[in-house]
């Protein structure tokens, strides 16, 4: 019977070693997956901010000036305010 005990211990050890090996490889895989997800999230964030920075909602100085002119004609801007804005828009920027 002692022989059977040794065999069962060896089988138990190899099973335990296999389980530990499987758990270790699972941990490595999970860490790799988490790193990959974080990198992907960072890349998506960078791309979205890059596209937002390129998108100019005003369209440029001429469009802004036209909008200010409309506000002036509607009476929402005084003559003085419109001239001030127009002067600032036409000044060369450094």
Alpha carbons 64 and 56: distance in angstroms, whole number: 11
- State the chain's mean pLDDT as an integer: 81
Alpha carbons 89 and 14: distance in angstroms, whole number: 79
CB 64 within 8 A of CB 89: yes
- Is 0.85 topped by the overall pTM? no
Residue-wise pLDDT for 6-35, tens only, equals 666 666 668 888 888 877 888 888 898 999
């Amino acid at each position: 019977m002692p022989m059977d005990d040794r065999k069962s211990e060896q089988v138990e050890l190899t099973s335990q070693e296999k389980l530990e090996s499987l758990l270790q490889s699972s941990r490595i895989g999970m860490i790799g997956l988490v790193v990959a997800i974080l990198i992907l999230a960072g890349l998506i964030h960078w791309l979205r901010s890059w596209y937002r920075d390129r998108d100019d909602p005003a369209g440029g100085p001429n469009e802004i000036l036209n909008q200010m002119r409309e506000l002036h004609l509607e009476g929402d801007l005084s003559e003085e305010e419109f001239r001030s804005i127009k002067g600032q828009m036409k000044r060369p920027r450094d």
